[in-house]
Structures are given as C-alpha cells and as structure tokens.
Amino acid sequence: MSFTADFGFFEEVALGVTQSTGARVTVVGDVGMARSDPRAVRRAGRSYLAGLAYAGGPAFHPKVVVLAGREHATIALGSGNTTLGGWQSNAELWTVLRVLDDRSPAAVLELAAWLRDLPEEVRFSAHVPQALRRVAALLERLHRDRTPVDPGTRVVSSLHSPILSQLPSGPVDELAVFAPFHDRRGRALGHLLDRLRPNRFTLAYQPGLTDLDGQAVAGLVQRYGGRIISDEGQRYRHGKLVEWVAEGRRWTLTGSPNLSAAALLLQQGQGGNCELGIITPSSASLLPDGTEQPVARLRAAPSLPRPQTRSGPILLGAVRVADGLEITLARPLPVISYVELSAAEAPPEQWERVSDLAPGQATTTVPVLADGGSRVRLVTVDDSGVPDFGNIVFVVDVERVLRRSAPAPSQVPSTQPLDLFTDIRLAERFLSDLESLRTLLRSAPTTAPAVTSTPSTTAPTRTPDDEEGWERYLDECAGRIGTPLVRFALGLPLPAGVAEPFQDLLMVTWDERFTDDVEAGLDEDDAESVAAEQGTEPLDRPHGPLPIPDLRQAGRAICRKYQHWVEDLVTPNPQKSPLERMLAVRLTLWTVAAGAWPPADTRWLPLLAGAVRAMDGRDAPTRIEPEVGSLGAVALAVLRSCAPRYEVTSETLIFNETSAAVAHLLPAADDAHVAEYASLLGDAFGPTVAPENVLSLASDIVQDDPLDDAVSALAERGRDVHRHGRLMLHAVGRFSNPALVALEAIGAAEEESLVGAWATGGPDGERWALAVWRRPDLVIVDAAKAVPLWRHYRLAGLVGPRALAAQRSFESAVSVPHGPRNQPFDLARQVLAELGLSEGRPPRCGPQHGRAAGGRAFV
C-alpha cells in the first residue's frame, strides 16, 4: 500500500521479485495520487491487482509491504511510496518485521486486525478488500502457531482513534522529531509537545525541502527551549520520525504520519488521513545528522506549494464481468460524463468513447468487452465544450490476477542461443529438453485438447489461444528450455546477462521496451538490488550483438554432429508445438550461417524447407502470427538465394513448393520481427536477408505477379529489364540479337496467358524487337534491320518461349505463314490491341528507369 503508487515503476522493479515467490500480488495507492505512465504499465489488471483507495477526502497515506506465505512472512512499514523516489532516491525510514521459524512479533496480529478492518472506513476498488482479508488471515494463522516476541513493538493507526492518543503521556526526557510536512500554524507539533512534555527537544528540518510554518514552529521551539538541526544533505529526506527517551529507553514512531493534524490529531471518519505507524524500541537515534541553527533562520523559512488534489469525477476501478465492464467511482457523478476505453493492445494515446454515464451513479456496468490491462477514463465536458479527462484505471481480469504464479525452479534453464553453438553436448541435451516439453504439453490438463474426427492418442495438442492457456503454455516452455530460447523463438531480443522466467508478456506493436513480466527472483534479489540493475551495465559486456560461432573452426567432426543435430531438430512430428517448430527453423538458419555445411554443400536446403513447411500456422495462436510470418519470410529469403529464378532446378522446386505452402503466413510479417530474425545472418547470406529485401520477396510471393518474378529472374541473368504497365516488359542493353532477348524476357513470364516484351539493343539502341506470347501463339517483331519483320509461331507440347530461348533458335517452333513478313497480320494486330499497343515500336526509356531493391526495375 502506498499514497503515491507508480504501477510502471512497480512492474519494472518489484513485480518479478514478488511473483517469483509464487505470490498473488496486489498494489494499492490513493486514487487522487495515481500518476502512472500508461506506456510503462503493461501488466496491471493482468498479472497483478492494481488497486485504488478513496478515503473520503483525506489522504489514503499508509506505506506497507507484506509478503506472506504458509511458513513465513516479511512485513515492512515505513514512509516510502511505491515510486522511484520512495524506494530508491529519497531518504526513507522502514521498520521490518519477520515471521520466521517459531517466532512472530506481537505487532503482526495488530497489523492483521488493521488490514481486516480497513475496508470499513476506506472505499477500495473491486477485489482489494478480499486481498486484504486474505493477507490478514495468513498473518493470523502464522502468528497463532508461533511464540509471540518483541512485545514492545506496536502498530498504531488512525483507523479507530487519533494516533496521538496512542502515544505515551509525558513527561519524557528527550523528544526529537522530523517530518517533511507540517501543518499550518504547527498544530500537530504543538499537541505532540503538550502530550509528551519533553525536558529536551530537538527539531530537524531540510531548508527549502521541509514544508512547515516557520513562524509557528519557531515559536514552539522557543517555548520548549528546544534546538534546531538543519539537514543540508541533497537527498530528499522523506522519512517521518517521532523519537523520545523515557526511563532510560529510546522509542521511535515511524511510518506514514507527518506532523500534521490530519495525520496525528484526527481519526479516520472524522477528517483524518488513513495513516499507519509503528512504535519500536531503538538502541540509537534515527535523527538525521545536521548543524545546529538559530531559531531566526527557521522563522524565515518560506511555505512550500502544496500538491493539488483532483477534483471532479474520479474513477476507482474497472473490472471485467459477464456483461461487460463494472465501473466504480470514488464518489457519485455530479454531472453527465462518458467513458472512454483504450484497448490493451492499442497505443495508450488511442481512445474510444464507449458509454455515457448519468449523474448520481457511483457504480455501473458498461456493456463493452475489454481485455485485462485495457485503460479506462471518465470525460466530462464543461459549459464551454472543453473536455476534462479524468484519471486512468486499468481493467482488472479477476481470474488472471487471482492466479498465483508457480515459484520459479532453482534450476530454470538459462541457455542462450549462442551457447548451443559452442557446446555440442549442450545442443544435444536441448533436443531431450524439447522431447520432455512435448511430453509435458501432451499430458498437461491446462491446454485444450485438439478436436479430431476420430479418437486418436497421437493427435497433436493444439496450443491454446486463450489468454490463460497461452501464458501457462509459455511458462511450461520456459520451465523446460529456458526463457532465452523462448524469446529467441518468438523474435524478442534478450539483453545480455538477463535471464528471467517467461510470464505474462502482452506483445504489442507500440511497446518499445520488450520487457518481461518477471525479473529473476534469485535468493539474493531484493527491490534495491533489482532497482540498481536498471541503470547499470556490466563493465565487461561487449558492445553490439555477438557473432554466431564459426563451426568450420571447430573441425569436420563437430560440423557433422551439428548436421545430424539439425536433421533430428527438423524431423517431422505432429506432436511438435508451434514454439518448437519456430525454434527448429531459427536454429537451422543459425546452423547454416555458422558453416556446419561447406559452402558448396546444399544438403541443408530440404531440411530448412521442411522445417518452414511444418510451420504452416494451422495450430499457432493468432497472437503470434507476426512472428510466424516474419520468421517464414526470412527463411524463404534464404531459400530463394539458392534457387535460380530462370532455370528450373531442384533448388527452385524446393523454394516454389515451400513458398506455396506458407504464403498465407507472409501478410502478417512486420519490419521489427523480420529484423530480429535476420540478425546475425547477414555475414552468411548477405543482402538477401536485409529486412527490406525480405519483405519485398514476401510481397512478391503474396501478390504472385509473374512479371515481377520475371524482372527479378532476368536481373539474375544480368539483364536490365523493367516493366511497362501490367503486361509488358522492356529489356535494354548493348546486345546484338534483340529478338532472342525479347524471347528470353517473355520466357521468364510464360505462365501469364498474355505477356509482351520489347528488347532495345545495339551500340546506339537502334535495334529492337517485340515478342508477344498468348498461348499457344508467339508473335515476334524483329527490327534488327531497317524494316521490321513480323513472324508467327505456334508452340505445342513442352516447348515454350523459355525452351526456345534456351535453344537460341526457333527451329522447334511451327511457323505460321501470313504473307509478306514486312506487314503486320490480323493476329498480330489483335494481340497488340489486347496489350494496349497501337504499334510494335518500343517506347523511348531514358535514364529515369533504374534498378530497384532486389533487382526489380521500374519506370
């Protein structure tokens, strides 16, 4: 619990540490002080309960962290908010209680009672009261079975009586106080002095940072003969301290209460804040060091501006229910408002008006579906038409936030992809991990069974596409093969040195951080060490990505082992999950790039092609379509680099078969995932795997345009070819036989029912020819000499323009006579008209036509 709660900060620093213990997680902050950046909050309402509290006007101000289980508990009561300042930057005071072995501090029972009773006076967002009662029950059960210790430690709060009334009555020997906030006229400090009546009094403050009434406080110091200590440190001191010595013992009150009337003098329900403190004996003073200052300096201390509290309608929470979203407000609506929704997968700036709300409502159900983690806000419009946007809350998916994460095993695999290429034994062990994962997923009751027409014990288990099933599936995968390899398969970059359990990662295009839900929950981890890691880089971390190890340097025997490893990796098996198949494709690409096969050895082509065809997406969740499509596009680009476009080779057939099998996946490919999947492959495959070339090839495959393919195929043969419209090609160069070049061009696109090609050649471009193919007729206009000659051939059987071009003659074609060859004939005029040409002469293409990426040309 906290006054100011930054959910984005909590996710970065503490969510992983807590979830790695297997705990349900609830974070609660004051509804008026929630200031989370929506871009930084990715898991609220999905992985944990992001709750808000409304104390009826006064502040909801307690700061407490409880981590409770069946055997032990750790409790921290203090002054730090759940923010970067409260947990790292500021000087705060915390008191930590631990229930260990057979001992439990007596104050644990008092804290449990406070948690249980708190919802009587504070209005919480949905399911927070239940979380408080669950924690209270855990603490009560832990305390009941153990020996009470530390009887002098007491929890105090403003729930049932003012905190001041729970302090001892004086006189005391010494009193020392510090707080970052005092009330106006020093009322709380005056009442504290009157109650404790100290013989010696010390007040510490930070000039320019402590908010107090200088005149009033200075008067109290003079009245009690006290002294003033000035803390000149640059670190903001946010801890609150009331410390006294009585009968030779030193006692401290720490926690959330400032030196204000709302904190110390008033009870909740009577205008007081919701405050929580703890009184403990202390062996040494906690007062900050400083220099003694004259009272006159304190009198000159200026008052500091107070934070503005939110006015108008305030949302307390939004929960998924059967009928839509249950919206809860902190107080009833005074004016007409409307609800806006920003879906979890949409950018946080994208909002949609979904429902209007009438005045007087405090709770309502909006008939709109939204995933957990979606953002909701209220909007009111003033008389001038100016909208006032309210606070943002995150939709809670109750089933998800109530599910506990399984504690991370102590030996979770952390194998990095590069590790598989530095130790063949580790690579072979990885295959056995995949087999155990497959066995686990087949028998796991959490995944939905495949729907088959007949009962079968070998039917593949469909990977769940629902939210809960998908998360558990990823958890199971990460538990068997490790988070780095799960991320590797999904095309998510993993920072060097980070190994975290894979949990609830909502993959969205607007997220630029690619962080996981769970940081490494190691035994030595705590919030401070994890926070420190956020801003530090290991000194020995190399800059830039590491290269794929060169297997050729490992020797032929190791290369053969990796070849067999890939053969095992891609072996067809209907039980393989989508993640396994993606891993098989990506690891095969890396193995080829590492040089496991000699440069002239292409035996890996059918292995890669088979792995890509197996990744056809028939049982892959829709949420990973961009990853599957992008990985398929990169693999097809590698296959294309080995497959000639013009000649029909075995490599070409492999590519054509594979591209046809997975073409339906390619529209989902995107730049970011293509770039990730192609990373580290450039040294082996060159510009073929440049993202722009990969996406261009994917577009060609999806569009299936024979003329585009022909341009690329002819470019591979060194021809400078570009398109004119939809059905015409134009080859230019210094060739002496333009008719043969035009024939070669339409041969590259002979699958088209109608296609034409010009060829303009000769030293000055004065020679030209036109070839038109409309199956089975081939029309050639040859202007290599002064007068163009018109010829007609009819092709039958297996002979086509490409075969004629390969023979470099028209001998195997049947010539059809039409009279004088210097005149066009009726069929020629007809096919030219179908091509939209009035004559056969080629256009004059100047230097504006050029070669595009991937060999494609354009005008």
Q: What does the pLDDT look like over 219-253, one tens digit per residue?
A: 999 999 999 999 988 899 999 999 999 999 999 99
Which tops the pLDDT comparison, 57 or 523? 57
Residue 507 pLDDT: 56
Average pLDDT over residues 744-773: 83
Rounded to the nearest 5 percent, the helix, strand and coil shares of the chain are 35, 20, 45
Average pLDDT over residues 492-511: 50
Look at residue 583 and give its three-state secondary structure: helix
The CA-atom distances, in angstroms, between 109 and each of 97, 353, 362 are 12, 47, 34
Strand order of the β-sheet with 154-157 is: 154-157, 276-282, 249-255, 241-246, 172-178, 198-205, 227-230, 291-293
H-state helical runs in 523-670? 527-534, 556-569, 578-593, 604-614, 625-641, 650-662
Copy the structure tokens of residue 562: 């990796």
Least confident interval from 6-15, 197-206, 544-553, 823-832: 544-553
- Cβ atoms 739, 842 nearer than 8 A: no
Residue 31 pLDDT: 93
pLDDT at 493 over 90: no
The CA-atom distances, in angstroms, between 316 and each of 34, 37, 279, 489, 660 are 10, 17, 32, 39, 53
- Cβ atoms 344, 350 nearer than 8 A: no
Instruction: Determine the residue type at 849.
Output: H
pLDDT band with cut points at 50, 70 and 90 for residue 405: low
d(CA 217, CA 202): 12
Backbone φ and ψ of 790, nearest 5° = -110, 125
Average pLDDT over residues 256-283: 95
Instruction: Kindly list the structural domains of the chain, giving each domain's residue range(s) and its CATH number in brackets, ordered by start.
Output: 7-157 (3.30.870), 417-531+550-702 (no CATH), 706-858 (no CATH)
Residue 574 pLDDT: 81
Cα radius of gyration (the chain): 37
Residue 608 pLDDT: 95
d(CA 477, CA 471): 10
pLDDT band with cut points at 50, 70 and 90 for residue 509: low
| Element (DSSP H or E) covering residue 136 | helix 128-144
pLDDT band with cut points at 50, 70 and 90 for residue 809: confident
Helices and strands, counts by H and E, the chain: 25, 32
Strand order of the β-sheet with 49-54 is: 26-30, 49-54, 123-124
pLDDT at 492 over 70: yes
Measured at the CA of 375, the angle between CA 115 and CA 67, to 5 degrees, comes to 30
Q: Which residues pair with 535 in a beta bridge?
A: none
Mean pLDDT of the chain: 83
d(CA 719, CA 698): 23
d(CA 65, CA 74): 8
Least confident interval from 193-207, 313-327, 541-555: 541-555
- Cβ atoms 799, 813 nearer than 8 A: yes
Q: Other CB atoms closer than 10 Å to residue 180's CB: what's the count?
A: 21
Copy the structure tokens of residue 524: 């030595």
Start-to-end Cα distance in the chain: 66
Torsion sign, CA atoms 638, 643, 646, 648: negative
d(CA 35, CA 13): 17
> 437-442: long-range contacts (C-beta < 8 A, 24 or more apart)?
437/476, 437/477, 437/480, 437/481, 437/577, 437/580, 438/573, 438/575, 438/576, 438/577, 438/580, 440/476, 440/480, 441/473, 441/476, 441/577, 442/575
pLDDT at 519 over 80: no
pLDDT band with cut points at 50, 70 and 90 for residue 841: confident
Which tops the pLDDT comparison, 263 or 732? 263
Copy the structure tokens of residue 72: 């032990």
d(CA 441, CA 408): 18
Residue 403 pLDDT: 76
Least confident interval from 108-122, 393-407, 513-527: 513-527
- Cβ atoms 628, 620 nearer than 8 A: yes
Q: What does the pLDDT look like over 182-208, one tens digit per residue?
A: 998 999 999 999 999 999 999 999 998
d(CA 693, CA 684): 15
| Cβ contacts of 577 within 8 Å, gap of 6 or more | 437, 438, 441, 461, 463, 473, 477
pLDDT band with cut points at 50, 70 and 90 for residue 523: very low
pLDDT at 538 over 80: no
Residue 416 pLDDT: 85
Q: Which residues pair with 242 in a beta bridge?
A: 177, 253
- Cβ atoms 771, 756 nearer than 8 A: yes
Q: How many residues does the chain have?
A: 859
Look at residue 672 and give its three-state secondary structure: helix
Q: What does the pLDDT look like over 453-477, one tens digit per residue?
A: 333 333 444 566 555 566 667 767 8
pLDDT at 355 over 70: yes
pLDDT at 611 over 90: yes
Backbone φ and ψ of 415, nearest 5° = -65, 125
pLDDT at 27 over 80: yes
The CA-atom distances, in angstroms, between 526 and each of 87, 149, 410, 523, 740 are 11, 25, 17, 8, 76
State pTM to two decimals: 0.55
Q: Which residues pair with 245 in a beta bridge?
A: 174, 250
| Element (DSSP H or E) covering residue 103 | strand 103-105
Residue 458 pLDDT: 39
